[in-house]
Amino acid sequence: MRLNALGIHVILELRECNPALLNDYAFVRSTMIDAANSLGATIIGESFHRFQPIGITGVVAIAESHLSIHTWPEYRYAAADIFTCGTSVSPREAANLLIHRFQCKDPDITELERGKLAVLATADR
Amino acid sequence: MRLNALGIHVILELRECNPALLNDYAFVRSTMIDAANSLGATIIGESFHRFQPIGITGVVAIAESHLSIHTWPEYRYAAADIFTCGTSVSPREAANLLIHRFQCKDPDITELERGKLAVLATADR
């Protein structure tokens, strides 16, 4: 029996990044928007915030999906998530873009299937 | 050795929800904002969108964390995420709020530790 999922959720643990980049508001925002665009979807909203003294948080809402990032420059670490729906878009490419841009030397990628519903098993999607 | 994490990420698979509620923009938005407020944190941004013919997506950015939801009323399903930082806030309470409000009869909760860094193991946090 083939079980299909409604979405793919990539969970990125970005360790050993360049801390200056993790604390650069404009860089973090443009990188996340580039990652969103690499998914080929339309951005429907975004929210970024700089913390004092350090750290940036941001979410980008895309049609039926989202990207998020929370950075801890003091630990050279960022937690990023890429949630996509449909099979036409590969979240892995966006994940690799984040790893490359933040100069991450110790990334960990976990891919979760979301909405793995029994009803989808019989549908030819 | 005690390993501490920077954040807790609750991944909610909300199956067998009330589909009318999943497609009610105002209800979904107010529920997510209530969940965010139940975390005791400050909302720094939000983005919600209604899809045609059906479905709602939304992200709420909170200080150093976020909540997101993507609903598929046609499958009585929603994918929700609650990401919180610090130990003073329990994401479980917000998760239970979502389960209750969407009248979810088959929820699945997965709790991930994010930013489980070796450097934190020696800190008394």
pLDDT beyond 70 at A124 = no
User: What is the pLDDT at residue B2?
Assistant: 44
Assigned domain for A122 exists: no
Contact residues for A53 (Cβ-Cβ < 8 A; gap 6+): none
pLDDT beyond 50 at A69 = yes
Assigned domain for B17 exists: yes
pLDDT beyond 70 at A122 = no
User: What is the pLDDT at residue A2?
Assistant: 44
User: What is the pLDDT at residue B63?
Assistant: 83
Cβ of residue A59 closer than 8 Å to a chain B Cβ = yes
Q: Which domain holds residue A103?
A: 7-113
Cβ of residue A112 closer than 8 Å to a chain B Cβ = yes
Assigned domain for A118 exists: no
Interchain proximity A119–B72, CB inside 8 Å: no
User: What is the pLDDT at residue B123?
Assistant: 55
User: What is the pLDDT at residue A105?
Assistant: 98
**Two tokens, residue B9:** 């990420």
Instruction: Answer for the pair A66, A81: CB distance below 8 angstroms, yes or no.
Output: yes
Arithmetic mean of pLDDT, A104-110: 97
Q: Is B70 a catalytic residue?
A: yes
For a pLDDT cut of 70, what percent of chain B falls above it?
Answer: 91
Split at pLDDT 50, 70, 90, the class of A123 is low
Assigned domain for B110 exists: yes
Of A115, A58, A67, give the one whose Cα is nearest residue A94.
Answer: A67
User: What is the pLDDT at residue B90?
Assistant: 78
Per-residue b or e along A18-49, where b marks 16 or more CB atoms closer than 10 Å to that residue's CB: bbebbbbeebbbebbbebbebbebebbbbbbb
pLDDT beyond 90 at B64 = no
Cβ of residue B118 closer than 8 Å to a chain A Cβ = no
Say what the pTM is.
Answer: 0.92
Average pLDDT of chain B is 90
Assigned domain for A107 exists: yes
Assigned domain for B32 exists: yes
pLDDT beyond 50 at A1 = no
- A110 to each of A1, A47, A52, A81, B2, how far by Cα in Å? 24, 24, 30, 10, 23
CA gap B41, A30 in Å, rounded:
26
pLDDT for B65-122, tens place per residue? Answer: 899 999 999 999 999 999 998 756 679 899 999 999 999 999 999 999 999 998 887 6
**pLDDT higher at B113 or A64:** B113
Assigned domain for A1 exists: no
Lowest mean pLDDT among A111-125, B10-24, B76-90, B94-108: A111-125
Radius of gyration of chain A (CA): 15
Cβ of residue B69 closer than 8 Å to a chain A Cβ = no
**For residue A99, what is the domain's CATH number?**
3.60.90.10
**Two tokens, residue A40:** 């080929």
Nearest Cα of chain B lies from the Cα of A71 at a distance, in angstroms, of 8
All residues of chain A having their beta carbon less than 8 Å from the beta carbon of residue B70 are 7, 64-66, 83, 85
pLDDT for A86-105, tens place per residue? Answer: 756 678 899 999 999 999 99
pLDDT for A46-61, tens place per residue? Answer: 999 998 889 999 999 9
Number of domain units in chain B: 1
User: What is the pLDDT at residue A64?
Assistant: 67
CA gap B68, B28 in Å, rounded:
11
Assigned domain for B121 exists: no
User: What is the pLDDT at residue B87?
Assistant: 57
Arithmetic mean of pLDDT, B41-56: 90
